Amino acid sequence: MGENEHWHKVSDSARNVAPFLLVLLLTFISVVPLQVPGYSGIAPPLALLAIFYWGVYRPELLPAPAVALLGALQDILTGAPLGQYMLIYLLVQASLISQRQLFLAHAFFILWWGYALIALLAAIVLWLIAAAVLQTLPALTPFLLQACMGIALFPLVAWLCHRLSRLLADDV
């Protein structure tokens, strides 16, 4: 194998793992304890934002097994019931299979609106899971605030993912 061929394979490997590493980094950032009272209960779902983005624009770079692994890690890091975030992340990814072309055909605002809908539905599913685990109805407000924080941060995370996507495309 020639040197150029070797570096081409390294480049392909880096390109294929970059979205996973970004979501992994966002997962760790989302669980960093901040000195803000109550923040941990409403921390934005940064990994979900990136999973949504890659599910629309480059789903082949973040396959279901990687998404499941990231969800399990989120469960472990947050102390959530094992499988909770894995389920949410896989449901989001699966929902994008049929809606992907809709998002690709429209402006960023529609993508943002789509994420808002997904985030609110994810918040309700998380709330229902919490209710089942706790066997009581917890307050819905923290779940909705978490979704709203994610919706507010969506343009920033989408921009970051877009920049990474452009870097990966420029490397071809």
**For residue 92, is pLDDT > 90?**
yes
Number of domains observed in the structure of the chain:
1
- 6 in a structural domain: no
Q: pLDDT for 45-88, tens place per residue?
A: 999 999 999 999 999 999 999 999 999 999 999 999 999 999 99
- 14 in a structural domain: no
Q: What is the mean pLDDT of residues 20-49?
A: 88
More confident residue, 35 or 150: 150
CA atoms within 13 A on the CB side of 58: 19
pLDDT score at 11: 66
- 5 in a structural domain: no
d(CA 79, CA 138): 17
- 17 in a structural domain: no
**For residue 10, is pLDDT > 60?**
no
pLDDT score at 85: 96
- 16 in a structural domain: no
Range of the domain at 103: 22-29+44-170
Q: pLDDT for 111-166, tens place per residue?
A: 999 999 999 999 999 999 999 999 999 999 999 999 999 999 999 999 999 999 88
- 8 in a structural domain: no
Supply the pTM of this predicted model. 0.89
**What DSSP assignment string belongs to 86-148?**
HHHHHHHHHHHHHHHHHHHTS-HHHHHHHHHHHHHHHHHHHHHHHHHHHTS---SHHHHHHHH
